[in-house]
Structure 1
Amino acid sequence: MIVRAARELAHLLAGVLIGPATFLWALITTLASGLLSVTYLGPPVFLVLTWVTRRLAGLERWRATALLGRPVVAPYEPATGANPWARGRALTREPATWRDLTWLVLLFPLGLATGIPGVVVAVVDLGMICAPLWLWAVPNPHLPLVVDALFNTVPGRFALTVLGVVLALPARWLVGTLARTQAELAVKLLGQGPRQRLADRAAELTVTRRRVVDAQAAELQRIERDLHDGAQARIVAAGMTLALAERKMRVAGPGGDPVRDDLLTARRQLDDALAELRRLVRGIYPPILTDRGLVAALGALAGDAPLPVVVRAGDLGELAPAVQAAAYFVVAEALANITKHATADECLVEVVRREDVLSVEVRDDGCGGADPSGSGLTGLRRRVEALDGRMVITSPSGGPTVVRAELPCES
């Protein structure tokens, strides 16, 4: 409690001492900026002045953090502009620049209004508590009778000590309230506002979600590799062992016929399990995406389709696994729907990367009438939206049907 009271008193005293300097600096900054604003030197000079202002504002944020025990985050936006003139003009449009100057102006009167009462109350109360230690050294025979009895007699001095102890809690409360009031006002002006905190939180959640999606894609790749290299390989080995056993039984003669039927049945079951496992692997994360990339995977889908499919894709650069998987499954689901419902004669798949957006479009010449709220398309839309993308489906009656997905991707 004593340490915190000392910190609050030091905060008030520092405000009294720093206030005149910050007020003078804010006055100089305002005058210099105003006079030079009509000249070519205005923006770069304002840039330099703002750099100093932000150092002073940073000191005030540090003082508020030390008192309140919670960090005060700077509200500044990243610097923009290729030269000092552009950066200086950008600073004039930033609200945090003017809030800093406002606080530097307010600190002078606010420091006096909160600091002087707090320091006086604390010093007077401490002097009362320590009265027996120092009042004997400054005797004053001209004091009124009541005050003389307190200041110039030993019992009176100890009575002052008792009174100082009694008033210590109210004095402590007053000093703490004044210090916290000053610090909270500094936080409101020098810290982030609610809108900026919300924007930063949204950006943080976007990054976190992207990391989660990437981690999920990596985990799906790991599962695919484990199934491909582990379970699938063992099933293939078991099938080869059964085939070898069947061959040996044929060589052994007709005595092994009763067992041969069971071996053939077991081999067919293994073949079915292997085919199902391969379908499962392709549904989790197609191996061709890992081995050869998105363009080759789309070419494989086009080759397996029962109708002519033209794939147009240029250089897509490096894509995140989650983006590749989303684009692949958009095309795969669209081709499956075309095969089942569209009665189309041909289909065009076009994949283009423009800056940081991957655009995937599937167009057919079928009968149209696709339901965008169907379970398959809804699942695809959710997969795309999980990456901050969007998917649009247009399918008028009579066609054509166009499925277009846009996926953000880092350059």
Structure 2
Amino acid sequence: MWQGWTRAALGVALGAATAVPELLYLALATPVTALPGARQTVYRGARRLADMERRRLAAFYGAENAADFTGKRAFQYLAVRWAVGLLGGLLVLLFVYGLVVGAVWVWHFLIGRSSLLTFGSQVLIGAVLLFISVQGFAGLVEVERRMARRFLGPSERELLERRIAELATSRAGVVEAVDAERRRIERDLHDGVQQRLVALGMLLGRARRTDGDTDLLRQAHEQARQILDELRDVAWRAYPAALDHLGLDEALLRVAERAGLPVRVRYELTERPARAVETAAYFVVSEAVTNAAKHSRASLVVVRLSTEEGKVTVQVRDDGVGGADPAGGGLSGLARRVAALDGRFDVDSPVGGPTTIVAELPCA
């Protein structure tokens, strides 16, 4: 939190410094724009200054803007940006002034040159000034973001190109994820169910040749039961029927029961999400819990589902050893599944733990 505030304050201070050359440039260049051949030169200079501001906004505010804005729009942006920059400079001076005055009053109180009442009143005034400065920083950052989005924001063509690229990537990811899921199901059937069916056939053949040996029939019955269990597991991993009949909360409780380690589920959704969102959320939790049980040596997994700002947030956190690879087959498949819904997927798993997996899925 403090790092974010510090970065924002530095961005405001740097913006105040860049406002001065921008104001000088406008003062010198504005009269030149009336000349027929000089306007494009002025616009090129304005574009360089605006591009510098664009990089500052990205570095300190995390605001991404387009790089294809015109020189005219850059000139218009600078025409209003300098005033906001100078206002930020006043806020920085007010903040520094409050710190200096506060330090002086603390020093006076420590050496006995001010009473407790005077010191308390000055501390109260300083706290008010600090609050005003911090709120001013936050408001100024938002104003700068909106202003840059208004003048330097992506064009309709760039938005369409971005959207086409996103759709192409997500479509390819969905195809790859479906193929990987098919290969996994085929592997489960070949290595598990198929081998057990062969063994069952051999047991039944031996029992037939021995006129129904009781022990062989018992083994065949046990094999048949295990085959049914494995078939249920394969079908459940392919698509859990409980999602349709009982809902996401009940399906997640069954995941917790079958996990092989303690799993605590906090289901905070007030309404049932759309089927695609519900399915994606289920598979995120199922894969994350399975990974924790197999690789993390965790003693507890906490699953939390909540809704905020039109998004379903799925968080899975375990207290294991960490080191999960986001590029691994299971997690990368989840990332593609979430991206197909225009969602966001993040894995935080430092060595030593804990591992936190977060997926944000749009409700609509």
TM-score range with shorter-chain normalisation?
0.3 to 0.5
TM-score (norm 1): 0.38
TM-score (norm 2): 0.42
Larger radius of gyration: 1
